[in-house]
Chain A
Amino acid sequence: MSATQVRGTVVSRTPVGDYHHLVIEAQGVAASARPGHFVALAVGGPDSGMLLRRAFSIYRTSTTGRYGDTVEIVFAAHGKGTRWMADLAPGDPIDVVGPVGRPFALPKEPVSCVLVGGGYGSAPMFALARALRDRGCAAHLVLGAATTPRLFGVLEANKVATSVHVTTEDGSTGIRGRVTDVLASLVDDTDAAVVYACGPMGMLRAVADVAEDNGAWSQCAVEESMACGIGVCMTCVLPVEGEDGIVRMVRSCVEGPVFRGDRVRWDAVGTIPAGTLGGPR
């Protein structure tokens, strides 16, 4: 797979709850994008003092709309770069690199799958649910957030998923609690073979544990801060165990963002665990 750099144009930016839904016309990015791929956006305009790219999971793509190729993302304006993005208006230019990363691996057999999205981490799950159902898999979707405005895509979930389960920590929508409170029984009830997840690191770790305890594979899309998004800066690394049993610091941008949950050393993220290849002796 090859990433493209393209000068995109904002088609629309719409507030959705506590988030923003951004549609960008970006020729050449949509056609090869798969669920789990991301885009790396330059923020702040052509003379920006913010040099680092911001990475976002692709929510949706289209190659057939009136604007040509479009790519869509969902983001929260929680930093200087995303606050700049929250002021984008139709027609504004924005530089896009994508699609980047390794997408979610899809099962070869028509098995049952559970998809978990935390906050705006649900963004890639809708296209993933469609892709799974296209190949005969059941796609049970769990959406969770702290509060209702931080849920993304509940209505769309009802259209694309085999079943939908919503949790909020304040109990304002769905079941009061966290996604992991409903996950184990759902994996069990649906006899799920694969659990897909995207969201905060703590959630991914918990989801990977539940999947493993229930005999399911997990595919987790991690969120590590990146400088380049294309594999050259080495900032977005995390400890991952390879098939050979050796832990390496691997780049989440090009070797991820999707990892098998049982391969990531969640307990050691932010450290160099003992025994890591090339680690301190």
Chain B
Amino acid sequence: MTAVGGAAISPAEVDLSVDLCGVSLPNPVMTASGCAAAGRELDQFFDVAELGAIVTKSIMLNPRSGRPTPRMVETPSGMLNSIGLQGPGIDAFLARDLPWLVSRGARAVVSIAGDKPADYVELARRVGQAPGVAAIEVNISCPNVENRGLVFACDADSSYRVVEEVRPHIPRDIPVFAKLTPDVTDISSIAGAVADAGADGVTVINTLLGIAMDPDTLAPRLGGVTGGLSGPAVRPVAVRAVWQIRKALPDLPIIGVGGIRTGFDALEFVLAGADAVQVGTVIFHDPSAPMRIVGELRDELAQRGISSLDKVRGAAHA
């Protein structure tokens, strides 16, 4: 494989800016949905306006209590979570959370989630009209109550249908990303389906479904029985998913997410073909991580004499 870059340059010479489907980001690092609430808590640890974007926790039409506790289990270099999309519902989100994020000057990427396609449409319409939304992420890793609880993102037709119905309700200048689950046979075909349906890009990956047992009760440890596995343990799976989609769909914008803990981890995703990245579970370990990773990514590029992300994006496919 061809070596990229050359003699080290100053970190100040590295341009981390990204144009993501017409949205200018100062750097490619975002928070991952569900790991940053709506940004306010993390503003204590770094300036949310400096990060590439804040992706808010998936919002649903109505308030939702989520699942019973225990909601998480620590696993080797990861965690299982079973939150159950607890949230205040779209009215409270648009009245309180989004305006705060926008007023802080952050680029707000709003994640939406529904129980049926009509929910997504209504959410898309409401969020698409709200001022200051930089992009919408459609979390299709939810059970479809109208189709035996089958997760939308596990099925190409269901994924296609949600995105196709949602896209016309969102202004053209607000890009739409579909967030895909890795729990499928061929993630590239799902990515292709949502792209055909009008998604501007994909976010990969959501968590992997898992179960952990309790040594005392010998029963599942999570109140919700199954949970989503995340953290550095899943990173190679996520890098692989990005790599496969980039190979199959050379021009589809990809946001890579899964287990990023350091600047080099972020660079791995870029090499595999990601246009931007998201930092999730590691925020629980280190709430300053998103901006730390921006700095580390800058250093990783500078050390290798790489002046911009364009020079290495997808380099693993060369």
A277 to B60: give the CA distance in the assembly, Å. 14
Chain A residues bordering chain B, tally (CB within 8 A) = 38
Please give, as numbers and ranges, the residues of chain A lying within 8 Å of B78 by CB-CB distance.
51
A51, B81: Cα distance in complex, Å:
13
Q: List residues 244-300 of chain B with CB under 8 A from any CB of chain A.
A: 281-288
B129 beta carbon closer than 8 Å to chain A: no
Number of A-B contacts (CB under 8 A): 112
CB distance from B291 to the nearest CB of A (A): 11
- Write the nearest CB–CB distance from A280 to chain B, whole angstroms: 8
A267 to chain B, nearest CB (A): 13
B-side contacts of A277, CB under 8 Å: 63, 65
| A232–B81 CA distance with the chains assembled, in angstroms | 13
Please judge, given known A-B contacts A49-B77, A232-B36, whether A272 and B42 are in contact too, CB under 8 Å. Answer: no
Q: Does B71 contact A (CB under 8 A)?
A: yes
Chain A residues in 8 Å Cβ range of B63: 277-278
Interface residues of A in 1-56 (CB under 8 A from B): 2-5, 42, 48-53
Q: A186 interface residue, CB < 8 Å from B? A: no
Q: Does B173 have its Cβ within 8 Å of any Cβ on chain A?
A: no
Chain A residues numbered 94-115 whose CB sits less than 8 Å from any CB in chain B:
95, 97
Which partner residue on chain B sits nearest A4 by CB separation?
B44
- The answer to whether B70 and A225 touch across the interface, beta carbons within 8 angstroms, is yes
Least CB separation from B60: chain A residue: A278
* Least Cβ–Cβ distance between A159 and chain B, in angstroms: 35
Q: Which residues of A contact B282 (CB under 8 A)?
A: 51
Q: B284 near A276 (CB under 8 angstroms)?
A: no
Across the interface, A235 reaches (CB within 8 A) one of B36, B69, B286, namely B69
> What's the nearest-Cβ distance from chain A to residue B190, in Å?
27
- CB–CB B287/A228 < 8 A: yes
B71 touches A234 (CB 8 A): yes
Residue of B nearest to A231 (CB): B41
Q: Does A238 contact B (CB under 8 A)?
A: yes
CB contact under 8 A between A2 and B72, given known A228-B283, A228-B284: no
The one of A52, A230, A279 in contact with B65, judged by C-beta atoms closer than 8 angstroms, is A279
Chain B, range 78-95, C-beta contacts under 8 Å to A: 78-79, 81, 83, 86-87, 89
CB of A50 within 8 A of CB of B35, answer: no
Interface of B is mostly: loop
With a cutoff of 8 Å between Cβ atoms, the chain B residues found around residue A227 in the complex are 72, 74, 79, 81, 284
Within the complex, which residue of B76, B89, B288 is in contact with A5, where a contact is CB–CB below 8 Å?
B288
Instruction: Report if A270-B41 is in contact (Cβ < 8 Å); known contacts: A51-B74, A51-B77, A52-B74.
Output: no
Residue of A nearest to B64 (CB): A278
11 contacts between A and B (CB under 8 A): A42-B285, A51-B74, A225-B72, A227-B81, A230-B42, A232-B42, A233-B83, A235-B71, A249-B66, A270-B68, A280-B65
In the complex, B62 has a CB within 8 A of chain A: yes
State A269–B68 Cα separation when bound (angstroms). Answer: 8
What's the Cα separation between A5 and B286 when bound, in Å? 8
Is the C-beta of A254 less than 8 angstroms from some C-beta in chain B? yes
A237: Cβ under 8 A from any B Cβ:
yes
A271 sits at the interface (CB 8 A): yes
In the complex formed, the residue of A with least CB distance to B39 is A232
B45's nearest neighbour on chain A, judged by CB, is A5
Of the candidates B65, B76, B83, the one whose C-beta lies within 8 Å of that of A276 is B65
The yes or no answer to B223 lying at the interface (CB within 8 A) is yes
Closest to A227 in B: B284
Which residues of chain A are near B232, meaning CB under 8 Å? 49, 51
A155 → chain B closest CB, angstroms: 35
Closest to B74 in A: A52
Check A278–B89 contact: CB distance below 8 A.
yes
Chain A: which residue is nearest B284 at the CB level?
A228
* Chain B CB within 8 A of A212 CB: no
| CA–CA, A235 and B284, complex, Å | 11
* Contact call B72/A270, Cβ cutoff below 8 A: no
Specify which chain A residues have a CB less than 8 angstroms from the CB of B37 in the assembled complex. Answer: 231-232, 234
Contact indicator B287/A230 (Cβ below 8 Å): yes
Complex CA gap A37/B279 in Å reads 28
Q: Which 9 A-B pairs rank lowest in CB-CB distance, beginning with the nearest?
A: A278-B63, A228-B284, A49-B77, A278-B64, A278-B65, A235-B72, A231-B41, A235-B71, A279-B65
Residues of A within 8 A of B116 (CB): none
Contacts of A53 in B (CB 8 A): 284-285
Could you tell me if B69 and A233 are in contact, using CB atoms closer than 8 angstroms?
no
Q: Does B125 reach chain A (CB closer than 8 Å)?
A: no
CB of A224 closer than 8 Å to a CB of B:
yes
Residue of A nearest to B70 (CB): A225
Cα–Cα distance between A249 and B281 once the two chains are bound (Å): 22
Interface residues of B in 130-181 (CB under 8 A from A): none
